[in-house]
Structure 1
Amino acid sequence: MDVFDQIIAGRLPAEVILRTDRVVAFLDARPLFPGHTLICPVEHFETLYDLPDDHYAEILTAARTVGLAQQAALGAQGTFIANNNVVSQSVPHFHLHVVPRSKGDGLRGFFWPRTRPSSEQLHAVAELLRAELAGAEK
């Protein structure tokens, strides 16, 4: 049982701000900014790809609801929504980070180095992905 399962079960304390039968949202104990919220399915699924299709809409609706609350209650100007999947996933329980953002908050774009691939490199990667997606449709 991971730390999020324990929070969901009420065995560990957390500042829960939203809960439904299938989704729970609670404040991150180590936030980037005040109001940084984690949204998890109540049922244990390790990664984004393990979630049943019928969970996606409810999780994104919760992210939208929390993001709008961050704007209204905390004065956030925007929201950064992120998910680490396996690599850098600190808890093996699917969760979205909903991080309130404001201009000048110090967060610079994404958290990783950006590159400038050539149009040929972009095209080659796009071709690989299009071929995979076409195969998946069959």
Structure 2
Amino acid sequence: MPERTCLGCQLANKEIETNIIYENDRVTCILDIAPLNEGHILILPKKHFHDVDDLDEVTATVIMRTSRFLAKLLKSHFQPEGITILQNNGKFNDLTHYHMHVFPRYESDGFGWLEPIDATNAKGRLKETAAALVALIQPLR
């Protein structure tokens, strides 16, 4: 088997030692080495994908089902005030391998959503944006 150079592939396929929480034939779930809160888990597909729109249907479904399971697991152990599930694409995907974050949240944890510098233009164009996106749905199917 050729040596993998993708860190995400290496982690998902247990070629690098890590803290595995759960795995099945499609994904490996590990503790994040830079956790936002204790229990911060990454879901990594074993096959290489870069972005969410690269995922095949089966892997995408397995990832969502796994995120539900992990949310229940984290709630059971940590009794958090909530769970955050997020994923970054493109240049914001620092691992360059698709991964989903699932982590417990607490009101005082300091993690937050920063508002854009100026969302006024986007807010004023809601109808136009909706129409443009709806028009693209059929061609993309």
The TM-score bracket by the shorter chain reads 0.7 to 0.9
The question of 1:100 aligning with 2:104 is answered yes
Among 47, 56, 60, the alignment partner of 1:56 is 60
Answer whether contact 2:71 2:102 (CA < 8 A) is retained: yes
Instruction: Specify the alignment match of 1:26 in structure 2.
Output: 30
Structure 2 segments unaligned to the other structure (5+ residues): none
Q: Aligned-pair distance for 1:133?
A: 1.3
Question: TM-score w.r.t. structure 2 length?
Answer: 0.86
Instruction: Specify the alignment match of 1:41 in structure 2.
Output: 45
How far apart, CA to CA, are the structure 1 residues paired with 2:59 and 2:45? 8
Instruction: Specify the alignment match of 2:116 in structure 1.
Output: 113
SS, match of residue 87 in structure 1? helix
Aligned residue pairs, count? 136
Structure 1 segments unaligned to the other structure (5+ residues): none
What is the percentage of aligned positions where both structures have the same residue? 27
How far apart, CA to CA, are the structure 1 residues paired with 2:91 and 2:26? 25
Instruction: Specify the alignment match of 2:82 in structure 1.
Output: 78
Judge which range, 6-15 or 68-77, deviates more. Answer: 6-15
Judge which range, 128-137 or 19-28, deviates more. Answer: 128-137
SS, match of residue 73 in structure 2? helix
How far apart, CA to CA, are the structure 2 residues paired with 1:112 and 1:39? 27
Among 1, 5, 13, the alignment partner of 2:9 is 5
Segments of 4+ moved more than 4 angstroms: 116-120
What is the one-letter code of the residue matched to 1:123? K
- Per the alignment, do residues 36 and 120 of structure 1 end up closer, same or farther by CA in structure 2, a change over 3 Å counting? same
